[in-house]
Amino acid sequence: MKILSKIYTALIFIFLYAPIFVLIIFSFNDTDTSSRTQFSGFTLRWYERLFQDRYILEALLNTLIIAVVAAIASTILGTLAAVGINRMKRLPKKIMMNITNFPMVNPEIVTGVSMMLLFVAAVSLFGGRSLGMASLIIAHITFCLPYVILSVLPKLRQMNPNLFEAAQDLGCPPVRAFFKVVLPEIMPGIVTGMIMAFTLSIDDFVISYFTSGTTQTLPIYIYSMTRKRISPEINALSTVLFVCIMVLLIIINVRQARDERRAKKAEKERVV
């Protein structure tokens, strides 16, 4: 049974990561022919062309700006919302959780069209520019918020509810007690929610397509390239993004493991 479980696990990982490894391999493919499925040799020229392509770099810059702003804003708002929801009574908390979960199960095309109509109505009513960077950031914050809330809430539930009150009893103001006592306890959930919001924002296409206006993000630019031949520069760009996110996840996991070891060591020392 153990051997079968190991084989089954290996097959699952192969199924998940084989397309990514194929993409990485073909990002070094030296070919000028129409075929993109035959490996003709090793080259770095697609990476050189990637950093010389103004349109791809502009789309990448827009994507990163939107993702960073949306991740930071949704993390702050989502953390505050999670703290508020956690302090609610049973019935209001249940209602708020249903409202929070709804955007995640709602079809993205419905969310995208409804937000487009909202932004167009707001522009026509209050004046201003057409859809663009601002509408994209607001849309991304909106659909990232529920994921941050659901990442932070479990940490709040695991936390001892008496710690915050104990800090106040010892003379600590509420705001300072939150930053000194509550925030360190829920920080792993906040970091997880922020990473999830960042990756969801980078990856989003449907909502971005309806709310982008004249602003191009990377998924929209790649979609526009599917109407003609897709350049291997996209393989190189996808490889760079994959490696950057992988390194970020490794650093965060190593840091969390180190913090857990320190916490266990401190707890053992207190017991002794």
pLDDT of residue 71: 94
- pLDDT given for residue 65 in this prediction: 93
pLDDT digits (tens), the chain, 272 positions: 678 888 888 888 888 888 888 888 888 887 765 456 677 778 888 888 888 888 888 988 999 999 999 999 999 999 999 999 988 888 888 888 888 888 888 888 998 999 999 888 888 887 767 788 888 999 999 999 999 999 999 888 888 878 877 888 778 888 888 888 888 888 888 988 998 899 889 888 899 999 988 888 888 888 887 777 667 788 888 888 888 878 877 877 787 777 778 777 767 776 65
Domains within the chain, CATH numbers bracketed: 1-43+233-272 (no CATH), 53-230 (1.10.3720.10)
Which residues, at least 6 apart from 12, have a Cβ–Cβ distance to it below 8 Å? Answer: none
Tell me how crowded residue 241 is: count the other CB atoms within 10 A of its CB: 17
pTM (whole model) above 0.75: yes
How far is the C-alpha of 265 from the C-alpha of 259, rounded, in Å? 10
CA separation for the pair 180, 99 (Å, rounded): 30
DSSP count for the chain of H helices, then E strands: 12, 0
Give bridge partners of residue 29 from the DSSP assignment. 42
Q: What is the DSSP string of 211-233?
A: H-TT---HHHHHHHHTTSPPPTH
Secondary structure class of 229 (helix, strand, coil): coil
CA 192, 196, 197: angle at the middle one, nearest 5? 115
CB atoms within 10 A of CB 1: 5
pLDDT at 49: 85
DSSP H helices in 52-182 = 54-86, 90-105, 108-126, 133-158, 162-169, 174-177
Q: Report the pLDDT value the prediction gives residue 1, as an integer from 0 to 100.
A: 67
Going by C-alpha positions, the residue among 112, 143, 134 that lies closest to residue 215 is 134
CA atoms within 13 A on the CB side of 272: 6
CB 148 within 8 A of CB 200: no
